[in-house]
Amino acid sequence: KDIDALIETLETQHDINKEGLVTLLALENPSKLYQAADRVRKKYVGDEVHLRGLIEFSNYCSNTCFYCGLRGPNRTIKRYRMEPEEIIQCAKYGASAGLKTIVLQSGEDKYFKITTLCKIVEEIKKMDMAVTLSIGELSTKDYAELKKAGADRYLLRIETTNKELYQKLHPGMSYENRVRCLIDLRELGYEVGTGSLIGLPGQTLEMLAKDLMFFKKIDADMLGMGPFIPCENTPLENEKGGDVETVLKMMALARLLMPDINMPATTALGVKDKLGYIKGLQCGANVIMPNIGIDEYKKLYKLYPGKVPDNPSETVNSLENIKKLILSQNRTIGKDKGYRKKY
Ligand code: 5AD
């Protein structure tokens, strides 16, 4: 029927209009959509799952995003900053465990000077790993310096492409500046990752369809999408969160539209659903980002609740468990740095 035809066009042409996207996002039984995404994933990026070792090096943040537990005004969480030496040690552990990419993530913490960050990037690059940064909005010049120091990739989610919703959720920030950052990063030669939060209050399927069209338009190399999970002590603490099925549909559609991108099964997906990583891997994902930071800090990096159980090293997110999970899905572990292989 109509739906089958839509999915087939997407699978062969990797293109569809907004109405088609909305129709597919509204599917009650998306299993054919998921299967198509899984075939396209296998055909374009293969069975390898790339591991990106995540180090959350500071939870200080000067922003006030309504959904996020690390927002500056949240005085109920204990703040920490890792020492450069600690960050390097974690990266070394990652290298010794066979990881080929380190992701350095933090709140927007003005304390770290760009020169300090550049030195950290340079040290990690000496270990023959790719470096991804996820440290928010910076000036063009700062992005350029970090690139020169050796940073390869940058993650900056647009969160939502609906300007009105964006402004509502990000007081003091601007949608235009966020897009400016993404364009700068692209022009400077970074591999660029973006993505959205799914299930934000007021977000519609039409908005999500437009998010997907935006990702394709800017030719994102990487795409991270997860459910919004309401977090205590934030303005959205009493809202309803995003649902896993919508996230999976977004991932499947993203894979069909952009067959060769790198797309993680996100931590939030894994938190919201015990089987989140597995479901993500079956709906187009080819990346997982195990947390290789220090346990005492992991529990303080509370973007949303449930992120870290009492004993972090025993969670589904530990490196060993993730490797087992990947193999159990008849997938393999990526051996190289896992850059986007543009087709
Ligand atoms: N639920 C899910 N994801 C969240 N993020 C921030 N707060 C939440 C939340 N409450 C995501 C944002 C940000 C990324 C680092 O974490 O999308 O870009």
Can you tell me the ipTM of this complex?
Answer: 0.99
**Is there a domain that residue 341 lies in?**
no
Q: Pick the atom of ligand 1 nearest to 157's CA.
A: 18
Q: Pick the atom of ligand 1 nearest to 197's CA.
A: 17
User: Is residue 134 helix, strand or coil?
Assistant: strand
Q: How far is CA 342 from the centre of its chain?
A: 19
**Is there a domain that residue 337 lies in?**
no
> Which residues line ligand 1 at a C-beta cut-off of 6 Å?
67-68, 157, 159, 197, 226, 228-229, 231, 268, 303-304
Domain count of the chain? 1
**Is there a domain that residue 338 lies in?**
no
pLDDT score of 315:
65
**Is there a domain that residue 46 lies in?**
yes
User: Is residue 131 helix, strand or coil?
Assistant: strand
Q: How far is the CA of 303 from the centre of ligand 1 (A)?
A: 6
Instruction: Choose the residue to mutate in 59, 64, 68, 203 for probing ligand 1, maximizing ligand atoms within 8 Å of C-beta.
Output: 68
Q: Pick the atom of ligand 1 nearest to 227's CA.
A: 2
pLDDT score of 311:
64
pLDDT score of 162:
98
CATH for 53: 3.20.20.70
**Is there a domain that residue 19 lies in?**
yes
Q: How is residue 130 written in tokens?
A: 């790719």
**Is there a domain that residue 339 lies in?**
no
Which domain, by its residues, includes 251? 2-331
220-243 tens-digit pLDDT: 999 999 999 999 999 999 999 999
pLDDT score of 316:
67
CA–CA distance, 153 with 155 (Å, rounded to integer): 7
Q: Which CA distances in Å does 123 have to 81, 116, 190, 204?
A: 18, 11, 18, 44
**Is there a domain that residue 180 lies in?**
yes
Spans of the chain, pLDDT less than 70: 309-316
Q: Which of 313, 236, 328, 251 minimizes the C-alpha distance to 287?
A: 251
Q: How far is the CA of 248 from the centre of ligand 1 (A)?
A: 17
**Is there a domain that residue 336 lies in?**
no
